[in-house]
Structure 1
Amino acid sequence: MMSAISSIRNLGPAFEAACAKAGIHTAEQVRAIGADATYAALLRAGTQPHFIGYYVLVMGLQDRPWNDCKGAEKIALRARFDAIKAEAFDQGHSEFERLMNQIGVLQPTKKGQRSR
């Protein structure tokens, strides 16, 4: 039997709806692909990046309270989040667009694409 994404600790209906837009429909899918791939899929589907949303997912998959992320662990998760965000937004862009993104000329739009 397949479980709802909201059955994962810390995750509710809004997260479940965002996952559905990204083609992820069950808790089993989230567990199978993991936090990083799930969050990358959400970003590519248009979800605006938010660090707390990412670490809430990570903590939930570990069956920990969302606010249990602290210190060095939180710093390491921030680095992973930044890498996921950069990769998700850089897909499909030219080298020039990636450089413009790095210096802050291009900004994310609602569809997850970059524009001036």
Structure 2
Amino acid sequence: MDDSPISALRNMGPAMESVFDKVGIKTVGQLRALGTDAAYQRLLEAGSRPHFIVYYVIEMALQGRPWNDCKGDEKAALRKRFDAVKARGVDTDRTAFEAMMNAIGVIDPDTKS
């Protein structure tokens, strides 16, 4: 496992290293093992406010690419992943609303995306 600090990754500086340290992610190896979605979920669970740019900066850093290299279809696909991570227990108002809509039959859970 890579024991390098988070700041050794492209796009990741001391501020991101500090944020990850607070949720127990201290090394590049730990971040890689978790992947973008699980690592970002930890940040959200610790109270970080959801922000799409931070999410894709992490993804690009893990790929060794410039943070602003994410465009077009790739960025749209990452946005869907981000929205799914955000919705998993963090966006409780949306989750509660969707549950209510499902209960009264407005949303078919098999067809929603």
TM-score range, shorter chain: 0.7 to 0.9
Match of 1:61 in 2: 62
What pairs with 1:73-84 in structure 2 (closer than 5 Å)? 73-84=74-85
TM-score, reference length from structure 2: 0.78
Q: Which has the larger radius of gyration?
A: 2
CA spacing shift, 1:102–1:74, aligned 2, 3 Å? farther
Structure with the larger RCO, 1 or 2 (CA within 8 Å, 6+ apart): 1
Match of 2:20 in 1: 19
Unaligned runs of 5+ in 1: 104-116
How many pairs are equivalent? 99
CA spacing shift, 1:102–1:20, aligned 2, 3 Å? farther
TM-score, reference length from structure 1: 0.76
Segments of 4+ in structure 1 off by > 6 A? none
Superposition RMSD in Å:
2.3
Match of 1:111 in 2: none
CA spacing shift, 1:102–1:77, aligned 2, 3 Å? farther
Match of 1:71 in 2: 72
| Matching of residue 45 in structure 1 with residue 46 in structure 2 | yes
- Equivalent residues of 2:89, 2:95 under 8 A apart: no
Unaligned runs of 5+ in 2: 101-113
Work out the percentage of aligned pairs sharing the same amino acid. 55
> Can you list the C-alpha shifts for 1:40-66, whole angstroms capped at 9, x where unaligned?
111111111110000011011000000
CA spacing shift, 1:62–1:102, aligned 2, 3 Å? farther
